[in-house]
Structure 1
């Protein structure tokens, strides 16, 4: 009759063990009768025996920079006991990489809001990180992850639906990266979760040639105004004058913008060659290249008639306040009728400028 043989994975004596790597102890030719893995303070690591008592698998992540001691025994088919003993030492990172998830807990966002899981460094092995980032939606929504470098220089995993989110969707995101290796000496600092929801469906249709914006709700398709259930409001507007004066720097970009933030008052400062400084009210930022929907009392006489701005969408004070109050971060603003397309050169949220077929190629899995 065979004696019990112990096999540990990773092998006992392993140093620089990732805290996220499961520990598995198996016995051939016998069964485990007793086993514990303890930390330096004597706390027993959670784990479970298999139904036939031939293996034990850890059930929680370990701590950084600690030595764990395995003790136990196995009974061989020959009736003789064999001791189980060994140690593991977990890695002490040089850098603990922090992770941020947006939207955050409790947020209510518009139907174009992407999920963004930002990392403090670019992972050397994207696939290993992406395998540990999960999303659950209620109801189920078709979507995909993509690796995107944002305008702060940081790499992120962005998830967006194939179409706009269904209204009132509940979303749960898990970035289980604690203990995962990002690069040499770099490991995940903490795992992060977020639970948020999608609000009502509202889309702004902004055709620069119409000199107005139209706010609609209950829209079921991207770039299809006819798919919307109702019109909420129509406001006279003035867009960027770039197409009129042949200056692409002054053109309001065409494409699906996303509301990034809402500022009741904001000091706008022009970048060279523009040197203006102007305090504006009811500002809804729709890109990071300086495009806002905001009030401008000085262009009211041409709103609905001509395009005269530096690239923003100007409304009257009354219209701007009404739109500001109705907007959610994450709402789509579909701009059409101009000569320059929105792109990654225009700021952080350019996810909707990427065709779905290409988006699917940006995952590491």
Structure 2
């Protein structure tokens, strides 16, 4: 995964050059493990679970308007009306004061994603009352899945709330995200929509990039299906690819990369194909360009190419 909750990742690009013409990732949220030496196995980060909640609603049957009621029935009906009015009066009212606080939720409704996919809400403005927002949200799965919320700050300085499973999702799991956001005060602002979204977990696909042997292994449902040579990038001296466990965040047909974007001299300015982003700070898995072929399978090094 892409860092501990609440920690801002430093600027760097960890580009992996793959000697393979076709992309090896089909679903966002699949696991990518950058391994060194004895750390080659996938190890999911342990997170303490959080408690979800589920609301209850009351209902009753009312008789036809022409029915005849006894005095006792009338008294009972009056009591029901009184209880209903009290319940409505006690129901939380929508918060409309303050500026609108909008957000984006990933993954989208009805999407099929990988077993490493987190639930992410990225807010357009700072969230002052984070506890209230977190309390209003729930994540439920079609099987027993333990997980936890955690706040992070993106490289753009935005607040993002992630829910991550303690262990990888099980394939074919249906996940539902709900939130009664319109009735809470996130801190001098308001929401104009609640949440009720469901998505599905697809097959278990893991990519294990070994930075020592310079090989990328692809596993589907625990079985190896492919192994290709690779090179771990080092766009600026001392900023080589970081070991760790990540989830693929997005797929991009073409990605513009420069060494200057990570604070280095302009040693390269190029566009690569089949980029698969695994971090907010510039980490990509991508097809190797022609100038990088000499490093694929033997050395962790970024190509020297300029526009």
With normalisation by structure 1, the TM-score equals: 0.55
Unmatched tracts of structure 2, length 5 or more? 1-74
Does structure 2 conserve the Cα–Cα contact (< 8 Å) formed by 1:101 and 1:117?
Answer: yes
- Seen in structure 2, the aligned counterparts of structure 1 residues 57 and 165 have a Cα distance that, compared at 3 Å, is same
Residue 254 (structure 2) pairs with residue 265 (structure 1): yes
Does structure 2 conserve the Cα–Cα contact (< 8 Å) formed by 1:99 and 1:191?
Answer: no
Higher relative strand content: 1
Residue 238 (structure 2) pairs with residue 248 (structure 1): yes
Residue 299 (structure 2) pairs with residue 306 (structure 1): yes
Alignment of 1:178-217 (within 5 A): 178-184=182-188, 186-217=189-220
**Which structure has the larger Rg?**
1
- 2:175 maps to 171
Does structure 2 conserve the Cα–Cα contact (< 8 Å) formed by 1:211 and 1:306?
Answer: yes
Unmatched tracts of structure 1, length 5 or more? 1-30, 36-47, 64-90, 219-228, 311-365
Does structure 1 conserve the Cα–Cα contact (< 8 Å) formed by 2:121 and 2:160?
Answer: yes
- Seen in structure 2, the aligned counterparts of structure 1 residues 174 and 54 have a Cα distance that, compared at 3 Å, is closer
CA RMSD in angstroms, aligned pairs only: 2.9
Does structure 1 conserve the Cα–Cα contact (< 8 Å) formed by 2:113 and 2:200?
Answer: yes
Residue 232 (structure 2) pairs with residue 239 (structure 1): yes
3-state SS of paired residue (1:127)? helix
- 2:161 maps to 157
Deviation string 1:240-298 (CA, Å, 9 cap, x unpaired) is 258xx9x322x001101221211122222222423222121122122233222212222
Q: Distance in 1 between matches of 2:121 and 2:164?
A: 12
* Higher RCO by CA contacts (8 Å cutoff, separation 6 or greater): 2
- 2:118 maps to 114
- Seen in structure 2, the aligned counterparts of structure 1 residues 138 and 235 have a Cα distance that, compared at 3 Å, is same
Q: Distance in 2 between matches of 1:92 and 1:161?
A: 33
Residue 282 (structure 2) pairs with residue 290 (structure 1): yes
Does structure 1 conserve the Cα–Cα contact (< 8 Å) formed by 2:96 and 2:190?
Answer: no
3-state SS of paired residue (2:186)? strand
- Seen in structure 2, the aligned counterparts of structure 1 residues 49 and 98 have a Cα distance that, compared at 3 Å, is farther
With normalisation by structure 2, the TM-score equals: 0.65
Q: Distance in 2 between matches of 1:152 and 1:302?
A: 33
Q: Distance in 2 between matches of 1:166 and 1:54?
A: 42
3-state SS of paired residue (1:195)? strand
- Seen in structure 2, the aligned counterparts of structure 1 residues 93 and 55 have a Cα distance that, compared at 3 Å, is closer
